[in-house]
Amino acid sequence: MNRNHSYSQKSDIPTHWYNIMADYPEFYVPHLDSTTHQPVNVHSLSNIFPELLAEQEINRKDVNIPIPPELLDYYAMWRPSPLIRARNLEKYLDTNCKIFYKYEGVSPIGSHKANSAIAQAYFSKKCGFTNVVAETGAGQWGSAMSMASSFFDLNCNVFMVKNSFDSKPQRRILMQTYGSKVHSSPSNLTEFGRQIRKNDPDSQGSLGIAIAEAVEYASSDRNTVYTLGSSMNFVCLHQTIIGNELKNQLNSLQITPNYIISCIGGGSSFAGICFPFLREKLERNRDLHFIAVESNAVPTVTKGIYTYDYGDTARLTPLSKMYTLGHEFSAPVIHSGGLRYHGLSPLVSKFIADGHAEARAYSQLDIYGAARLFAKLEGYVPAPESAHSVKAAIDVALENRNSGKTIVFCLTGHGFFDLAGYEKFNAGKMEDSESPDTNIHESLRKLAHTVRPETEKGAALPPQPPLNAGVQANNSFEAWWNRNFESQSPADSFQSGHTIGSAGASPKTACGREQDKGNPNLYNLLTESKVRELIDKGQKVAFLSKGCVITPLAGELIKSHGIEIKYA
Amino acid sequence: MNRNHSYSQKSDIPTHWYNIMADYPEFYVPHLDSTTHQPVNVHSLSNIFPELLAEQEINRKDVNIPIPPELLDYYAMWRPSPLIRARNLEKYLDTNCKIFYKYEGVSPIGSHKANSAIAQAYFSKKCGFTNVVAETGAGQWGSAMSMASSFFDLNCNVFMVKNSFDSKPQRRILMQTYGSKVHSSPSNLTEFGRQIRKNDPDSQGSLGIAIAEAVEYASSDRNTVYTLGSSMNFVCLHQTIIGNELKNQLNSLQITPNYIISCIGGGSSFAGICFPFLREKLERNRDLHFIAVESNAVPTVTKGIYTYDYGDTARLTPLSKMYTLGHEFSAPVIHSGGLRYHGLSPLVSKFIADGHAEARAYSQLDIYGAARLFAKLEGYVPAPESAHSVKAAIDVALENRNSGKTIVFCLTGHGFFDLAGYEKFNAGKMEDSESPDTNIHESLRKLAHTVRPETEKGAALPPQPPLNAGVQANNSFEAWWNRNFESQSPADSFQSGHTIGSAGASPKTACGREQDKGNPNLYNLLTESKVRELIDKGQKVAFLSKGCVITPLAGELIKSHGIEIKYA
Determine, for residues B416 and A379 on separate chains, whether the beta-carbon distance falls below 8 Å: no
Dihedral (Cα; B163, B167, B173, B176), 10-degree rounding: 0
Query: What's the angle, vertex CA A35, arms to CA A30 and CA A37, rounded to 5?
Result: 35
Interface of B with A in 164-183 (CB under 8 A): 169-170, 173-174, 176-179
The total of other beta-carbon atoms located within 10 Å of residue A332's CB is 17
| Burial (Cβ within 10 Å: 0-12, 13-18, ≥19) of residue A37 | middle
Would you say residue A292 lies in a domain?
yes
* End position of a domain, from candidates A203, A227, A251: A227
Contacts of A108 in chain B (CB under 8 A): 378-381
The two beta strands, A319-324 and A64-66, are unpaired
* Whole-number pLDDT of residue A87: 94
For residues A257 and A73, give the distance between their C-alpha atoms in angstroms, rounded to a whole number: 29
**Residues A460, A409: one domain?**
no
The CATH code of the domain that includes A125 is 3.40.50.1100
Contacts of A9 in chain B (CB under 8 A): 8-10
Residue A43 inside a domain? The answer is no
Looking at the fold, whether B476 and B413 belong to one and the same domain comes out as no
* Distance separating alpha carbons of residues B211 and B341, to the nearest angstrom: 10
As to burial, measured by CB atoms within 10 angstroms (0-12 exposed, 13-18 middle, 19+ buried), residue A280 is: middle
Q: CB–CB of B164/B136 below 8 Å?
A: yes
Partner-chain contact A108 B381, CB within 8 Å: yes
Strands B289-295 and B16-18: unpaired
Residues of chain A contacting residue B114, judged by C-beta atoms under 8 Å apart: 379
* Nearest Cα residue to A192 out of A173, A177, A214: A214
Please give the helix or strand (H or E) that residue A169 lies within, else none.
Answer: helix A169-177
d(CA A545, CA A499): 11
Handedness of CA A66, A72, A76, A78 (dihedral sign): negative
Residue whose C-alpha is closest to residue B135's, from B192, B56, B198, B65: B192
Q: Is residue B58 part of a domain?
A: no
Mutate to test the interface with A, among B4, B9, B180 (most CBs of A within 10 A): B9
For testing the chain A interface, which of B72, B79, B170, B253 should be mutated: the one with the most A CBs within 10 Å?
A: B170
Residues of A in contact with B378 (CB under 8 A): 77, 108
Q: Do B8 and A8 touch (CB under 8 A)?
A: yes
CA-wise closest residue to B310 among B496, B461, B91, B67: B496
Residue B470 sits in the same domain as residue B336? no
Given pLDDT bands bounded at 50, 70 and 90, which one contains residue B416?
A: very high
State the nearest Cα–Cα gap between B151 and chain A, in angstroms. 6
Whether chain A has a CB inside 8 Å of the CB on B251: the answer is: no
The total number of residues written for chain B in this structure: 568
Q: Are residues B251 and B394 in the same domain?
A: yes
Question: Helix H segments across B187-232?
Answer: 191-199, 207-219
- The set of residues, in sequence order, having a beta carbon less than 8 Å from that of B238 and lying 6+ positions away, is B17, B115, B116, B119, B120, B268, B272
**Is residue A59 in a domain?**
no
User: What is the pTM assigned to this prediction?
Assistant: 0.83
Residue A63 lies in a domain: no
Chain A residues touching residue B79 (CB < 8 angstroms): 6
A83 part of a folded domain:
yes
CA-wise closest residue to A168 among A198, A196, A192, A138:
A138
CA distance A330 to chain B (A): 29
Rounded to whole angstroms, the Cα distance separating B59 from B494 reads 25
Asked if B264 and B235 touch (Cβ cutoff 8 Å), the reply is no
Give CA angle at B435 (B430, B439), nearest 5°: 145
Length of chain A in terms of residues written? 568
State the residue range of the domain holding B545: 523-567
For residue B399, which amino acid is it?
Answer: E
Task: Check if the beta carbon of residue B202 is closer than 8 Å to that of residue B86.
Answer: no
Q: With a cut of 50, say whether residue B108 has pLDDT above it.
A: yes
Calculate mean pLDDT across residues B214-229: 92
Residue percentage of chain B with pLDDT more than 70: 82
The reply to whether A311 and A393 lie within a common domain is yes
Coil, helix or strand at residue A470:
coil
Interstrand relation of B259-263 and B406-411 (parallel, antiparallel or unpaired): parallel
In a domain, B243, yes or no: yes
Q: Is A76 on the interface with B (CB under 8 A)?
A: yes
The answer to whether A359 and A471 are in contact (CB under 8 A) is: yes
Instruction: Report chain B's C-alpha Rg in angstroms.
Output: 23
Residue-wise pLDDT tens digits, B84-106: 999 999 999 999 999 999 999 99
How far is the C-alpha of A215 from the C-alpha of A225, rounded, in Å?
8
At residue A285, the pLDDT reads 80
Give B334-351 pLDDT, tens digit per residue.
Answer: 888 788 889 999 999 999
Instruction: Indicate yes or no: CB of A77 within 8 angstroms of CB of B379.
Output: yes
φ/ψ (deg, to 5) at B419: -75, -20
B369 and B284 within one domain:
yes
Query: A252-272 pLDDT, tens per residue?
Result: 889 999 999 999 999 999 999
In this prediction, the residues of chain A whose per-residue pLDDT falls under 50 are 1-5, 452-521
Select from B426, B447, B463 the last residue of a domain. B426
Is some CB atom of chain A closer than 8 A to the CB atom of B109?
A: yes
User: Is the separation of the CB atoms in A128 and A510 below 8 Å?
Assistant: yes
CB B342 within 8 A of CB B329: yes
The reply to whether A422 and A463 lie within a common domain is no
Residue A381 has its nearest CB partner, among B8, B174, B419, at B174
Same domain membership, residue A203 and residue A284: no
- What digits encode the pLDDT tens for the residues B79-89? 999 999 999 99
**A357 and A328 in a common domain:** yes
Burial class (CB within 10 angstroms; exposed 0-12, middle 13-18, buried 19+) of B41: middle
For residue A211, the SS3 value is helix
Inspect the interface and report whether the beta carbons of B381 and A420 lie closer than 8 Å: no
- A181 belongs to a structural domain: yes
Nearest to A386 by CA among A110, A5, A24: A110
Is the pLDDT score of B374 beyond 90? yes
Interface of B with A in 414-433 (CB under 8 A): 416-417, 419-420, 422-423, 426
What digits encode the pLDDT tens for the residues B37-54?
Answer: 889 999 888 888 999 999
Q: Quick check: A10 and B6 CB within 8 A?
A: yes
For A6, which of B76, B84, B109 is closest by C-beta distance?
B76
What's the average model confidence in pLDDT over B208-223? 89
C-alpha triplet B404, B405, B406: angle, nearest 5°: 125
Pairing between β-strand A83-85 and β-strand A98-103 as defined by DSSP bridges: antiparallel
**DSSP string for A81-105:** PPEEE-HHHHHHHT---EEEEEEGG
Q: What is the pLDDT of residue A312?
A: 81
294-313 in chain A: CB under 8 A from chain B: none
Domain end (from B426, B453, B469): B426
pLDDT digits 0-9 by tens, A302-330: 999 999 999 887 787 889 999 999 988 88
pLDDT of amino acid A314: 78
Cα–Cα distance, A231 to A298 (Å, whole number): 15
Do A285 and A358 share a structural domain?
Answer: yes
DSSP state of A6: E
Distance in angstroms (rounded) separating the CA atoms of residues A562 and B41: 94
Measure the CA–CA gap between B210 and B198, rounded to whole angstroms: 16
B63 touches chain A (CB under 8 A): no
Interatomic CA distance for residues B77 and B178, integer angstroms:
17
Mean pLDDT of B235-260: 95
Which among B177, B372, B379 has CB closest to A381?
A: B177
Q: Do the Cβ atoms of A139 and A114 come closer than 8 Å?
A: no
Query: Is the CB of residue B379 less than 8 Å away from at least one CB of chain A?
Result: yes
Give chain A's domain count: 4
Spatial strand order of the sheet with A357-362 comes to A6-7, A83-85, A98-103, A406-411, A259-263, A289-295, A357-362
φ, ψ (nearest 5 deg) of residue B127: -90, 10
Task: Determine the Cα angle at B276 with ends B272 and B282, to 5°.
Answer: 135
Which residues, listed in sequence order, are joined to residue A157 by a DSSP beta bridge?
A: A133, A181
d(CA A192, CA A185): 10
User: Are residue B411 and residue B463 in the same domain, yes or no?
Assistant: no
Q: Which of A69, A178, A423 sits opposite B1 (nearest CB)?
A: A69
Question: Is the pLDDT score of B473 beyond 60?
Answer: no
> With helix as H, strand as E and coil as C, how does A102-132 read?
EEHHHCCCCECHHHHHHHHHHHHHHCCCCEE
B419:A174 CB<8 A = yes
Residue A219's pLDDT is what? 87
3-state SS assignment for residue B541: strand
Q: Are residues B20 and A20 in contact, defined by beta-carbon separation less than 8 angstroms?
A: no
What is B167-193 written as a DSSP string?
Answer: H-HHHHHHHHHTT-EEEEES-SSSHHH
Whole-angstrom Cα distance, residue A26 to residue A424? Answer: 45
Residue A106 near chain B (CB below 8 Å): yes
Calpha distance A352→B322 (Å, rounded)? 64
- If asked whether residues A95 and A158 sit together in one domain, one would say no
pLDDT for the residue numbered A551? 62
